[in-house]
């Protein structure tokens, strides 16, 4: 293996910590918290009456302080103990983001239970597999209907208790099922609820987080309290947040990016978290809650960009020119602030243009946004330029569930949007064969739950984890260039990255989703899902438009034939994972007839 060890960046990573280890930390450090339950206790001791969480109830927004959430979690702990749940048992959470998710998570972690988060919109069969594989003893989910869908797939005899948030109109024949109100009423009332921390070992397993694989069965990533706390602290040192910040949480908490960065980091620094009602209500929630920090996937901002582009297409020449000038000058101003441009002759125009053109877009995001952390997939340079040029900072990062999850992130003061930033402090990297990134850090998982062979395939005896991602290093920053397994080798011997081509295609407003097919073939073809604006276009026009998006690729990347998918790809029809990744093999199987028609020159 050819190896390149990461050398500390001369500006940031070489610096000593911003605090004296013998003095108090500006936020709750890993060494002080020890465990995730300890993190809550320490936060309550520091700021008991500060607002911790907000969510929309039946009619209006409600909130809980840190001391109130601790008392609530303490009550839930007594309900868990009443069911005979003991340290080391697994309990599963299949809920939307909100105070119930947080209450059960904190209750379980304090008692030394292992939390298994499940996507609330996952397929019943997939959820049943995760529950059976983890041997979960308790499951909490929204309603009895969802439970019966799961039970139909697998009766799950190991499951001792099923708690539904909603009450059932009829008595459930399955005696394991109770609604939340009944479950919480079982413990004897006490004068004052207290949160208990029984788990004090930082190296105890805190969670088994199942990856929503695009192929095969999900794998359960085992992460310890230390893994997650280290990652949260290191992330907080890289991208600063404090008690004055306000997060709006809308990515599922079953996604480790949202869980670590959007839930545990706010607890570390004392920031407030509001839980959005859902993607459809997100625009309204942004306006009402006015967050300062967002955690998002690229698609959120790509959707906004598409709407802006569509509006601009109908605008006057003057408005289009002003908009493009604002983006261009704002980008130059940003580059100068990063030290990459020494002189910008038109800088005096940047601020007024950015204010005039960018203010409406910033208002859509609530008007107070300091930055958004982008992860889960690559953000296009074009999208970055647009938002940064208008004064909206998007900080791209990189990670994976197996690393708790953050590996690298751009900083406000050191941001190169063409990369995924500098590795976190204490992250070691090396480049193996095929440019594959290997990582070693205190955040690397213990292994895959009950899958020793799969663990050995990615984690060596020295603690190095192979990521499967191909990278380049630019000035100590990481740039993701592809996936080791996603390289198409054409019958001509040429190699291409399918994800890179698909991302380029989907940046065009005509195409919502796409896969390219070319492995062991003499030419490239594409299967696409169209946006509304392209529904009436013929195949010749579609092909021309699609190839225009690939102008930056080699000539042999030209697509020779195209077919339109007869249906969109969604989580519901099992063509997307819960994290919105295309299940390529399922798509290829489902639309085999359409793909069979794809050939060179057709």
The dihedral through the CA atoms of 473, 474, 479, 481 has a sign that is: negative
In percent, how much of the chain has pLDDT > 70? Answer: 93
- Indicate the Cα dihedral angle 306, 308, 312, 313, nearest 10°: 20
Q: Which of 309, 300, 315 is nearest to 327 (CA)?
A: 309
Return the HEC string of 274-312. Answer: EECCCCCCHHHHHHHHCCCEEEECHHHHHHHHHHHHHHH
Range of the domain at 539: 490-596
In percent, how much of the chain has pLDDT > 90? Answer: 68
Strand pairing partners for 527?
515, 563
| Residue-level pLDDT at 216 | 60
How many C-beta atoms lie closer than 10 Å to residue 594's C-beta?
A: 15
Give how many domains the chain has, as a whole number. Answer: 1
| Residue-level pLDDT at 344 | 67
Q: What is the spatial distance between Cα 140 and Cα 160, in angstroms, rounded to a whole number?
A: 11
User: Which pair of tokens denotes residue 463?
Assistant: 């603690």
Whether residue 467 lies inside any domain: the answer is no
Confidence label for 13 from pLDDT (cuts 50, 70 and 90): very low
> What per-residue string of b and e applies to 116-130 under the rule 16 or more CB within 10 Å gives b?
bbbbbebbbebbbbb
Query: How far lies 167's CA from each of 91, 152, 224, 267, in Å?
Result: 20, 20, 34, 31
- List CB contacts of 545: < 8 A, sequence separation 6 or more: 508, 510, 534, 537
* Window from 73-82, 208-217, 390-399 with minimum mean pLDDT: 208-217
Q: What is the spatial distance between Cα 225 and Cα 214, in angstroms, rounded to a whole number?
A: 28
Q: Which of 282, 227, 220, 272 is nearest to 251 (CA)?
A: 282
Q: What is the spatial distance between Cα 377 and Cα 385, in angstroms, rounded to a whole number?
A: 17
pLDDT at 191 over 90: no
* Window from 264-278, 480-494, 536-550 with minimum mean pLDDT: 480-494
DSSP 128-154: HHHHHHHT-SEEEES-HHHHHHHHHH-
Per-residue pLDDT, averaged over 419-427, amounts to 97
pLDDT at 520 over 80: no
Q: Which of 86, 72, 81, 68 is nearest to 199 (CA)?
A: 86
Whether residue 518 lies inside any domain: the answer is yes
Structural contact between residues 30 and 404, judged by C-beta atoms closer than 8 angstroms: no
Whether residue 586 lies inside any domain: the answer is yes
The whole-model pTM stands at 0.83
3-state class (DSSP) for residue 162: strand
Mean pLDDT of the chain: 90
Kindly report the CATH number assigned to the domain that includes residue 547. Answer: 3.30.300.30
Strand pairing partners for 525?
517, 561
Whether residue 533 lies inside any domain: the answer is yes
Whether residue 294 lies inside any domain: the answer is no
Q: What is the pLDDT of residues 550-563, one digit of tens each?
A: 987 777 788 999 99
Whether residue 541 lies inside any domain: the answer is yes
Q: What is the spatial distance between Cα 427 and Cα 397, in angstroms, rounded to a whole number?
A: 14
Confidence label for 348 from pLDDT (cuts 50, 70 and 90): low
| Residue-level pLDDT at 345 | 66
Q: What is the pLDDT of residues 108-151, one digit of tens each?
A: 999 999 999 999 988 898 899 999 999 999 999 999 999 999 99
Whether residue 573 lies inside any domain: the answer is yes
- Indicate the Cα dihedral angle 576, 581, 585, 586, nearest 10°: 0
| Residue-level pLDDT at 54 | 99
Whether residue 571 lies inside any domain: the answer is yes
Per-residue pLDDT, averaged over 336-340, amounts to 89
| Residue-level pLDDT at 483 | 78
Q: What is the pLDDT of residues 484-512, one digit of tens each?
A: 877 787 766 677 878 889 989 998 989 99
Q: What is the spatial distance between Cα 521 and Cα 519, in angstroms, rounded to a whole number?
A: 5
Q: Count Cα neighbours of 441 within 13 Å in the Cβ-side half-sphere.
A: 33
User: Which pair of tokens denotes residue 514?
Assistant: 């796409």
Sheet of 436-440, strands arranged across? 428-431, 436-440, 465-474, 477-483
């Amino acid at each position: 293996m050819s190896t390149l060890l990461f050398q500390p960046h001369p500006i940031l990573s070489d610096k000593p910590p911003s605090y004296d280890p013998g003095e108090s930390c500006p936020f709750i450090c890993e060494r002080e918290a020890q465990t995730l339950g300890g993190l809550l206790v320490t936060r309550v001791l520091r700021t008991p009456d500060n607002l911790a969480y907000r969510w929309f109830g039946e009619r209006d927004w409600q909130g809980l302080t840190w001391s109130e959430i601790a008392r609530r979690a303490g009550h839930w702990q007594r309900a868990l103990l009443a069911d005979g749940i003991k340290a080391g048992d697994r309990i599963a959470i299949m809920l939307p983001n909100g105070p119930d998710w947080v209450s059960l998570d904190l209750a379980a972690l304090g008692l030394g239970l292992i939390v298994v988060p499940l996507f609330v919109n996952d397929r019943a069969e997939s959820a049943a597999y995760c529950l059976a594989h983890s041997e979960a003893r308790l499951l909490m989910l929204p309603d009895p209907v969802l439970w019966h869908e799961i039970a139909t797939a697998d009766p799950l005899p190991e499951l001792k208790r099923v708690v539904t948030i909603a009450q059932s109109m009829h008595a459930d024949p399955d005696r394991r099922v109770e609604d939340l109100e009944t479950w919480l009423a079982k413990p004897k009332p006490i004068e004052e609820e207290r949160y208990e921390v029984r788990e004090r070992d930082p190296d105890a397993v805190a969670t088994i987080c199942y990856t929503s694989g695009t192929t095969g069965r999900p794998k359960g990533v085992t992460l310890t309290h230390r893994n997650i706390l280290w990652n949260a602290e290191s992330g907080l040192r890289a991208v600063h947040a404090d008690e004055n910040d306000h997060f709006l949480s809308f990515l599922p908490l079953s996604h480790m990016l949202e869980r670590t960065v959007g839930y545990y980091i706010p607890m570390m620094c004392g920031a407030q978290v509001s839980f959005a009602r859902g993607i459809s209500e997100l625009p309204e929630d942004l306006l009402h809650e006015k967050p300062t920090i967002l955690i998002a996937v690229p698609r959120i901002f790509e959707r906004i960009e598409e709407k802006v582009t569509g509006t601009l297409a109908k605008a006057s020449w003057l408005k289009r020119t002003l908009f493009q000038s604002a983006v261009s000058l704002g980008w130059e101003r940003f580059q100068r602030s990063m030290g990459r441009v020494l002189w910008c002759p038109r800088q005096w125009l940047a601020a007024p243009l950015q204010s005039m053109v960018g203010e409406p877009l910033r208002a859509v995001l609530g008007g107070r946004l300091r930055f958004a952390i982008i992860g889960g997939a690559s953000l296009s340079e074009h999208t970055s330029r647009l938002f940064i040029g208008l004064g909206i900072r998007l900080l791209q990062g990189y990670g994976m569930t197996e690393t708790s999850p953050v590996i690298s992130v751009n900083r406000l003061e050191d941001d190169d949007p063409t990369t995924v930033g500098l590795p976190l402090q204490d992250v070691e990297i090396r480049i193996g064969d095929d440019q594959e990134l290997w990582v070693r850090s205190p955040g690397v998982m213990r292994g895959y739950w009950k899958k020793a062979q799969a663990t050995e395939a990615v984690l060596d005896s020295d603690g190095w984890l192979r990521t499967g991602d191909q990278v380049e290093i630019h000035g100590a920053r990481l740039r993701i260039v592809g996936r080791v397994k996603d390289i198409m080798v054409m019958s001509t011997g040429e190699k291409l990255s399918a994800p890179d081509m698909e991302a380029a295609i989907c940046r065009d407003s005509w195409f919502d989703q796409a896969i390219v097919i070319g492995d062991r073939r003499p030419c490239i073809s594409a299967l696409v899902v169209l946006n509304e604006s392209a529904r009436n276009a013929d195949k010749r026009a579609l092909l021309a438009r699609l190839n225009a998006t690939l102008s930056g690729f080699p000539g042999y990347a030209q697509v020779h034939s195209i077919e339109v998918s007869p249906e969109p790809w969604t989580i519901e029809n099992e063509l997307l994972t819960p994290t919105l990744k295309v299940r390529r093999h399922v798509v290829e199987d489902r639309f085999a007839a359409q793909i069979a028609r794809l050939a060179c020159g057709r």
